[in-house]
Structure 1
Amino acid sequence: MRRRLIQSTLAVVLVVIAVFGISLVIVETRTISSSAQERVDLEALRLASIVDSRLLSSEEVTEDILRGQVTQDRYAVVRMPGQRPIEVGDRPTGEVIRSKAARGDQGETVVVEEPRSTVTEEVGRTLLIIALVALLAVIAAVLLAIRQANRLASPLTDLAETAERLGSGDPRPRHKRYGVPELDRVADVLDASAERIGRMLTAERRLAADASHQLRTPLTALSMRLEEITLTDDLDTVKEEANVALTQVERLTDVVERLLTNSRDPRNGSAVTFDLDEVIQQQIAEWRPAYRSAGRAIVSSGKRHLHAVGTPGAVAQVLAALIENSLMHGGGTVALRTRVTGNQAVVEVTDEGPGVPADLGARIFERTISGRNSTGIGLAVARDLAEADGGRLELLQTSPAVFGLFLSRTPPAKKQPEDEPTVR
């Protein structure tokens, strides 16, 4: 591109120089020739007036007197009536510029000649000046073309590198502008694309992390049920455990669907009114074997037969994250207490452990924040799930740790379509 820009600019300059340069040379040549002819004619008139004045004064007109009046390199012939012609200077050879015969009042005539070589030399000097100016113009045009080419080509190279980085998976926007509106527009589009790709990649990574975290617990519980089936020969126990396993498979399917839905639109919930006790007892039943293996207990207390608004599967995942967090980081008995505050149903999850460190209290719901060697995304995912259904998850107390899940008890009002008339 640089070469094409330089070549095109140079071609334009050369065409301009050729058109105007040739015209200028023709005009200057004619001007110089006309000026030389005028100078010779004026010289002849001047000599004629000098001869006239001396003749009127009855003074002698000689070659010595006229020699000082004739310009160097010129030849003059003075013819007076009754006298021989007076020649001043050396007669030029070759082409000459001859003046018209200047006639005086006393009948004398004066003819002045000048070698045309003087005109040729002056024309040559003029052509040399024009050529130097043209050369300077070409050099300036090349330099400007190189500068302009660099100004245009360098941004294009940068934009190509940016596009290549986007294609290779590096979505960082460069926020670099070049002062050229068209190129800046392309840069704006690439930066916007980079930001969109970055958000998409972040969402994909987040989905993968959430999936690995949220699927781990149901899969672990399912594997425990399957192990119970393989270790027993009692048909009734096998049926019971199989039914529980099927229920957990359904929950696992619900988790996958929920993850996919949240990856497309985190606010796209399917909130319904459900029995909160059923979800709590379901979680206690699933987690009791794990707590029993750890020598700990999990219990529930508080107000019964509460109904809340939300997605049962999402609420179960939130409680599972809190229960698992207490199993990994807490101690003693884990208690799930239900209560009512205002128009909200609250599920509190607490244990008898040391609680949340003071330096983590304000950041406990941030991703990658963990008090031990864990993923650090469980509580962050739990808060996202609670907020997706219009609820909220908070750390109510740090020592011992008390987490509160707040759920609305009033179903959300359905929005009436704008084009549907209101029936009174």
Structure 2
Amino acid sequence: MRRRLINSTLAVVLVVIAVFGVSLVIVETRTITNSAQERVDSEAVRLVSIVDSRLLGDEQVSGAILRDQVGPDRHARIELPGRAPIEIGARPKGDVIRATAKGEKGETVTVEEPRSSVTREVGRTLLIIAGVALLAVVAAVLLAVRQANRLTSPLTDLASTAERLGSGDPRPRHRRYGVPELDRVADVLDSSAERIARMLTAERRLAADASHQLRTPLTALSMRLEEITVTDDLDTVKEEATIALAQVERLTDVVERLLTNSRDPRTGSAVSFDLDEVIKQQLEEWRPAYRSAGRAIVSSGKRHLRAVGTPGAVAQVLAALIENSLMHGGGTVALRTRVTGNQAVVEVTDEGPGVPGDLGARIFERTISGRNSTGIGLAVARDLAEADGGRLEMLQTNPPVFGLFLSRTPLRKSLPEDGPETVR
């Protein structure tokens, strides 16, 4: 493309130079020729007037007197009646420019100038025109190269950006080139890069959340299946199988919930549910793991509470808090329920050392962990709680107390004719 731009620009300049250059040469040649003829005519008239004035004054007319009146490289012939012609200067050879003038006393003056002088002047003019044309060509080439670089370099850069996007590097370049069309393409590529970066971030976040959220239920399910394989008691097998099927259903709910949050974290399916049932299910699911660790998990507080939310999401939040206490806490883990205002609160606490002081409220940020863990669990738990209109907070650092706040009454939209949305 660069070569084509240079060649096309140079071709246009050459055509313009050819058209205007030939016209200028023709005009200058004619102008120089006419100017030389006018000079010769003027000199002939001037010599005639000088001769007339001397004849009228009965003065002598000779070549010595008139020699200074004839320009160099010119030849003058003065013919007087009854006298021999007077010649001044050398007679030119070849083609000449000639002018003749007659005086009042019958004298005739002929002035000749060699045409070679005109040719030399035309040649000098042609050299000047050729020099100007050469400078114009050089300037055109330089401008064409600069313009070609200005257009092709951004295109090369944009092609490199598109290639980086295709290879999985979605970082926007934010480079502009001062050409509106190219800047528009750069804007589109940067916007596409930002969208791709957001999509990749969402996919990586979904993969991390899924691996973290599915790890514990799968571990618990495998423990149930192991108990089934080592027992011969049919009742125990049925009981463990029933619990395993419930865990499979919760796994399905976890996957659906993660996919829903990946599309829109604000999307919820909040309903009114029995909070005791969710806590009981979590105690049954985690009690074997705590027994294996030589620890206990208990519940206390107000019973028969109903809360608003998604039971599966609330179960995942509690599971994240219970797992966090199992991994980082110590002693007995207690789940306490209470009521504050219009909210039901589930507090999860243990007898461990608590949250380090340098973490504080940052404990809910992704990749933030007091020990060698992923730092994802609490962040996902907070997102799940907020998706259903609740919230997850750290109420105390030592001993650690986490509180899950859930509304006790649902938010219902009034009919359109009743006006704006109201809380009941």
Q: Shorter chain as normaliser: what TM range? A: over 0.9
After superposition, residues 378-417 of structure 1 pair within 5 angstroms as 378-414=377-413, 416=415
After superposition, residues 85-164 of structure 1 pair within 5 angstroms as 85-99=85-99, 101-164=100-163
**2:293 aligned residue:** 294
Give the distance between the partners of 1:228 and 1:17, measured in 2 at CA: 97
Normalising to structure 1: TM-score of the pair? 0.97
Q: Which amino acid in the other structure matches residue 16 of structure 1?
A: V
In the alignment, structure 2 segments of 5+ residues that lack a partner are none
Give the distance between the partners of 1:27 and 1:232, measured in 2 at CA: 117
Give the distance between the partners of 1:417 and 1:54, measured in 2 at CA: 123
- Please state how far the C-alpha of 1:414 moved relative to its aligned partner: 3.0
- Please state how far the C-alpha of 1:69 moved relative to its aligned partner: 1.0
**1:38 aligned residue:** 38
SS at match of 1:364: helix
1:71 aligned onto 2:83: no
- Please state how far the C-alpha of 1:416 moved relative to its aligned partner: 4.9
After superposition, residues 15-414 of structure 1 pair within 5 angstroms as 15-99=15-99, 101-414=100-413
- Please state how far the C-alpha of 1:417 moved relative to its aligned partner: 6.3
Listed one character per residue, the Cα deviations across residues 359-410 of structure 1 (whole Å, up to 9, x for unaligned) are: 1112101111111111110001111111111111111111111111111112
Give the distance between the partners of 2:272 and 2:413, measured in 1 at CA: 14
Give the distance between the partners of 1:46 and 1:339, measured in 2 at CA: 130
Q: Which amino acid in the other structure matches residue 337 of structure 2?
A: T
- Please state how far the C-alpha of 1:323 moved relative to its aligned partner: 0.3
Give the distance between the partners of 1:415 and 1:190, measured in 2 at CA: 45
Alignment CA distance shift 1:26-1:319 (3 Å): same
Give the distance between the partners of 1:94 and 1:357, measured in 2 at CA: 114
**2:3 aligned residue:** 3
Q: Which amino acid in the other structure matches residue 69 of structure 1?
A: Q
SS at match of 2:405: strand
Give the distance between the partners of 1:270 and 1:393, measured in 2 at CA: 18
Give the distance between the partners of 1:414 and 1:339, measured in 2 at CA: 28
Give the distance between the partners of 1:348 and 1:53, measured in 2 at CA: 135
Give the distance between the partners of 1:305 and 1:36, measured in 2 at CA: 123
Give the distance between the partners of 1:368 and 1:221, measured in 2 at CA: 24
RMSD value, Cα: 1.6
Q: Which amino acid in the other structure matches residue 3 of structure 1?
A: R
Q: After alignment, is 292-301 or 199-208 more displaced?
A: 292-301
Give the distance between the partners of 1:275 and 1:152, measured in 2 at CA: 68
Give the distance between the partners of 2:214 and 2:76, measured in 1 at CA: 118
Listed one character per residue, the Cα deviations across residues 25-71 of structure 1 (whole Å, up to 9, x for unaligned) are: 11111111111110110011111111111112211111111111110
Name the % identity. 85
- Please state how far the C-alpha of 1:193 moved relative to its aligned partner: 0.4
Alignment CA distance shift 1:42-1:415 (3 Å): farther
Give the distance between the partners of 2:125 and 2:342, measured in 1 at CA: 100
Give the distance between the partners of 1:187 and 1:47, measured in 2 at CA: 79
Give the distance between the partners of 1:92 and 1:351, measured in 2 at CA: 127
Give the distance between the partners of 1:209 and 1:65, measured in 2 at CA: 116
- Please state how far the C-alpha of 1:320 moved relative to its aligned partner: 0.2
SS at match of 1:358: coil
Give the distance between the partners of 1:49 and 1:113, measured in 2 at CA: 17
Give the distance between the partners of 1:409 and 1:33, measured in 2 at CA: 110
- Please state how far the C-alpha of 1:191 moved relative to its aligned partner: 0.5
Give the distance between the partners of 1:276 and 1:360, measured in 2 at CA: 30
SS at match of 1:68: helix
Give the distance between the partners of 1:79 and 1:133, measured in 2 at CA: 47
- Please state how far the C-alpha of 1:340 moved relative to its aligned partner: 1.2
Q: Which amino acid in the other structure matches residue 11 of structure 1?
A: A
Number of residue pairs matched by the alignment: 421
Listed one character per residue, the Cα deviations across residues 105-150 of structure 1 (whole Å, up to 9, x for unaligned) are: 2221111111111111111111111111011001001100111111
- Please state how far the C-alpha of 1:415 moved relative to its aligned partner: 6.4
- Please state how far the C-alpha of 1:20 moved relative to its aligned partner: 0.8
Normalising to structure 2: TM-score of the pair? 0.97
Listed one character per residue, the Cα deviations across residues 188-240 of structure 1 (whole Å, up to 9, x for unaligned) are: 11000000000000000000000000000110110010011001000011001
Give the distance between the partners of 1:24 and 1:307, measured in 2 at CA: 100
Q: Which amino acid in the other structure matches residue 58 of structure 1?
A: D
